[in-house]
Amino acid sequence: MPGDKLPTEQKLMGEYGVSRTVIREAISGLKADGLLASRQGSGFYVATPSQSENTITFFNSNPKTISSVIEALELRASVETGAAELAAKRCLPAQEAHIFSAFNAFRRKVEAGEISEKEDFAFHVAIAEASNNQKFVEFLTLIGKNIIPRSKLRVEADMKLDIEVEKHILEQHRVIMEAIFDRDSEAARLTMQTHLNEGAARYRALARLAQNS
C-alpha cells in the first residue's frame, strides 16, 4: 500500500530469481511511473498512484486483465529474447538500417509527446526480421501490436500517456539496438529480457495498487 517500504534488492533478487540488474531496471521504471518514491538513506517506498481513477477502477472490476497483460509479457520474453540474440548474430546491413529507421520513428513520436505504440511494435518486428527466422516475424505479426501492454490499457482503461515512461522505453530500445549492432548476442538477449521483465514489474505494481485501493 502507499507508504510501504520496498524490500531490499537482495531480498527481491531471491524472491523473484532475477539479477540485480533486472531489479534495478524495474525500480527505475516504477519510479518513472510514479509508483515508487525514494527517501535519502532509507530506501524506496510505494507512492500514491498517479494513474487515472479509471485505470484503477478498471483493474478492480476486471481481475483477468492484469494476468493477461503479464502472461503476454512472459510470452514475449520467451520469444523476443531469442530473436534479439539471433539478430545480433545474423543481422544484415539492410536489416540494421531497418532497425535504426524503426528506432528513429519511435524516437520522433516520443520526443513529440505523441502515442507511439505502433512505432514501438515496428521496432520489435524489425528485430524479429533481423533474426532471419521468419517464424519470429510470423509470431509478432499474428499477435499484433496489442501485445504492447500500454496500448491495451490506453484503450480499455483510459490510461494516459506518460512521457517519462516513453523516454525510458526509448532508452531501453537504444541499448538493445546498440547490442545488436555490436554483434553482442548475450547483451542483446539480456537487454531485451530486462526491457520486458521491467514492463511486467510495472504492471504487477499497478495491479497491487488496484487491489489495495
54-58, 70-74, 111-115, 117-121: segment of lowest average pLDDT: 54-58
Structure confidence by residue, pLDDT tens digits, 39-65: 766 787 777 555 444 444 444 445 455
Instruction: Tell me the C-alpha distance between 137 and 90, whole Å.
Output: 15
13-22, 37-46, 53-62, 195-204: segment of lowest average pLDDT: 53-62
The fold for domain 64-206 equals Four Helix Bundle (Hemerythrin (Met), subunit A) (1.20.120)
**Between residues 145 and 194, which one has the greater pLDDT?**
194
pTM of the model: 0.66
Instruction: Tell me the C-alpha distance between 194 and 140, whole Å.
Output: 19
127 and 99 Cβ atoms separated by less than 8 Å: yes
Phi then psi for 8, rounded to 5 degrees? -65, 160
Closest CA to 213 of 44, 61, 69: 61
Q: Which three cell numbers stand for residue 30?
A: 516504477
Per-residue model confidence (pLDDT) at position 110: 94
